[in-house]
Amino acid sequence: MTKKSKVSASQIYLCVCILALLGAAFFVAVVSEHAHVFAAFKEKGVAAEATVTGKEIRITESRTSKGKRRETKHHFLTVSYNGMSPTPHAAAAAGEPIQLGAHPTTISGDIQVATAEYENLAIGSKTLVTYLPNEMFKPKLTASVQDYTPVWQMVTAGILLGCGIWTARLSWKRRPSKAAATAMAG
Backbone phi, psi, residue 5, to 5°: -80, 135
What pLDDT sits at residue 80? 93
What is residue 185's predicted lDDT score, i.e. its pLDDT? 57
CATH number for the region 10-185 comes to 2.40.50.660
pLDDT of residue 153: 74
Query: Dihedral of CA 111/117/122/128: which sign?
Result: negative
pTM equals: 0.64
Question: pLDDT per position in the chain (186 positions), as tens?
Answer: 566 667 777 788 788 888 888 888 887 777 777 777 888 888 898 999 999 999 999 998 888 888 888 889 999 999 999 888 888 888 888 888 888 877 778 889 999 998 989 999 999 999 999 999 888 888 998 888 877 777 777 788 888 888 888 888 877 777 766 655 565 555
Domain spans, the chain: 10-185
DSSP-derived secondary structure letter, 125? -
**Residue 142 burial (C-beta neighbours within 10 Å; 0-12, 13-18, 19+):** buried
